[in-house]
Amino acid sequence: MPLNRRSFLAAAGGALLGPASLAAARELSCDVAVIGGGTGGCAAALAALRNGMRVVMTEETDWVGGQLTSQAVPPDEHAWIEMFGATALYRAYRHAVREYYRKHYPLTPEARARIHLNPGDGSVSRITHEPPVSLAVIEAMLAPHISGGRLIVLLSHKPVAADINGDSVRAVTVRSTQTAAEKTIHARYFLDATEQGDLLPLSKTEYVTGFESRKQTGEPHAPEQAQPANIQAFTVCYAVDYLEGEDHTIDKPEEYSFWRDYVPRLTPPWPGKLLGWHMSNPVTLKVRNVGFDPSADQNTGNVLNLWIYRRIANRANFLPGAYRGSISLINWPQNDYWLGNLHEVSDAEAARHLKRGKQLSLSLLYWMQTEAPRPDGKQGWKGLRLRHDITGTEDGLAKYPYIRESRRILAEFTVVEQHVGTEARMQTTGKKREELTAEEFPDSVGIGSYRIDLHPSSGGDNYIDVSSLPFQIPLGALIPRRVENLLAASKNLGVTHITNGCYRLHPVEWNIGEAAGCAAAQAVRLSVPPRKIRSSRRLLEEFQSAIRAQGIETAWPRLSPR
């Protein structure tokens, strides 16, 4: 069964993971400092470590892994993920998740024999699984580096200040969210892998937020005027199982009456109340009916059963008695929060919106337990049980909200809709759909694929969901225009509000972080900044050759002509 969360990586009291002698140290030094221990941050740290760097990584929560763990979001991936389109390190992580289940869980013989085991059999992903398993796997990937003294991880630490000298960052100060004690990290390179680009304002790195204007980007789906406060919804996720005949109804949330009756004011309009089995179709924006039935194991006709959408444990994959019920992760349009933002606002306002986001999620659960219409004509499923153990929290909600949109650096190169959007590419290139490819970037350091999928936003926009083409990640998008020794290592790279919609998912964020870790290591070895590596044809080709040798794909495979 899964390791207890007070396991190897919590040996130092959940604060500092590394030599005990450093527990009281106020100054730390390293080659590469990774600020933020989420999906991109862990990949960045592992990449820098395998290239011989000494690394300090910080993390605001007490779980590393970000989207995969503390935000409780099962991987969203493209259709070819089992064959290509991800780094070797990300594939190793996915393989380790499956092996963890095979080694520690009582799988049925049929499930154990499946090469592409999907523990939850969720329809959203080929590897829906429980966040604590991802945590155990990522902990194991980091563990030998911690034991070897090459990596220090500061859990429950948030950046609060940066020491700047001209166009360079000399040090970053982080503060414990538990004790308020501070540590200052000195490094040759700093990677911002925080969920919201927190290091950018602290280091005075130029950045953008929200929706750029069409004049700025030329993007077909951009508005006429810039909307810097118009940011995609965040979601407070949680997990539930279903125990028929039992009553696990939670206390009525404080804001339940508000959220039960809330009708979104979006453009184009949302079809009725937010809490309901209907929503806007993300592509057409017409009414889309969905269903929910925790006793059913399939969709009904063309109606999606949300219960199996992000199911992370399918009871049928395990021996009888191992699970009392299947487990589903609740991350739906019905608990997307878009009434305010978490960055570029005061701490008090961010806290208020986060609290309201939690109230929305709890209200959705209470509504499902008590009032939601059922296929059998009854109301509510009292047997829905909030699984605090899956999220590792007292309130049962994820440790950190699922952040879709971050601050983004003003980069040497910015990816816009015309580079990756299917319709925009047709207009730009004049090619037919079947001939299209995304823009090929000569400085590619990775690849990804996902639709441009923008959830409703704080500016009142409904979904913007349009087709995109398998794309590349340009090195120039990781490099700020001015600051020399800071790189983007998460969703804060040089993309727009629109292209963030396809660059924000798990394998892409991992690739961004891994590429940033490799770039920082190469810059340290050569004693040249990353922008010089990018601008020199020789240095760039050497770097791309090196990362390809480490399992980072820089181009999509092409079909040979018949």
Give how far Cα 273 sits from Cα of 83, 232, 258, 364, 454, Å.
41, 19, 11, 12, 20
Residues 376 and 288 both lie in one domain: yes
Closest CA to 123 of 282, 303, 376, 243: 303
Q: Of the residues 334, 364, 391, which one is the last residue of a structural domain?
A: 391
Residues 125 and 42 both lie in one domain: yes
Residues 446 and 510 both lie in one domain: yes
In DSSP terms, which residues pair with 397 in a beta bridge? Answer: 238
Q: How far apart are CA 478 and CA 481, in angstroms?
A: 10
- The model's pLDDT over 173-202, given as tens digits with 9 standing for 90+, comes to 999 999 999 999 999 999 999 999 999 999
Residues 188 and 212 both lie in one domain: no
Domain that holds residue 325: 234-391
pLDDT reported for residue 283: 96
Residues 14 and 85 both lie in one domain: yes
- The model's pLDDT over 69-112, given as tens digits with 9 standing for 90+, comes to 999 999 999 999 999 999 999 999 999 999 999 999 999 999 99
Residues 158 and 301 both lie in one domain: no
Indicate whether 484 pLDDT > 90. yes
- Count how many domains the chain has: 3
Average pLDDT rounded to a whole number, residues 124-151: 97
| Residue 370 counted as domain residue | yes
Residues 523 and 541 both lie in one domain: yes
| Residue 227 counted as domain residue | no
Give the confidence band of 20 by pLDDT, cuts at 50, 70, 90: low
- The model's pLDDT over 248-273, given as tens digits with 9 standing for 90+, comes to 999 999 999 999 999 999 999 999 99
Host H or E run for residue 139 = helix 131-147
Q: What is the pTM of this model?
A: 0.96
Q: Of the residues 358, 391, 424, which one is the last residue of a structural domain?
A: 391
Q: How far apart are CA 434 and CA 439, in angstroms?
A: 15
pLDDT reported for residue 562: 36
Indicate whether 21 pLDDT > 70. no
| Residue 280 counted as domain residue | yes
Q: Are 382 and 249 in contact (CB under 8 A)?
A: yes
Q: Of the residues 342, 361, 391, which one is the last residue of a structural domain?
A: 391
Residues 377 and 421 both lie in one domain: no
Give the confidence band of 4 by pLDDT, cuts at 50, 70, 90: very low
| Residue 222 counted as domain residue | no
Q: How far apart are CA 47 and CA 550, in angstroms?
A: 9
Residues 179 and 249 both lie in one domain: no
| Residue 212 counted as domain residue | yes
- The model's pLDDT over 148-161, given as tens digits with 9 standing for 90+, comes to 999 999 999 999 99
Residues 522 and 387 both lie in one domain: no
| Residue 560 counted as domain residue | no
Average pLDDT rounded to a whole number, residues 278-282: 96
CATH code assigned at 53: 3.50.50.60
Q: How far apart are CA 455 and CA 266, in angstroms?
A: 11
Give how far Cα 70 sits from Cα of 45, 137, 164, Å.
18, 14, 31
| Residue 298 counted as domain residue | yes
Residues 249 and 212 both lie in one domain: no
| Residue 159 counted as domain residue | yes
- The model's pLDDT over 493-548, given as tens digits with 9 standing for 90+, comes to 999 999 999 999 999 999 999 999 999 999 999 999 999 999 999 999 999 999 99
Residues 369 and 300 both lie in one domain: yes
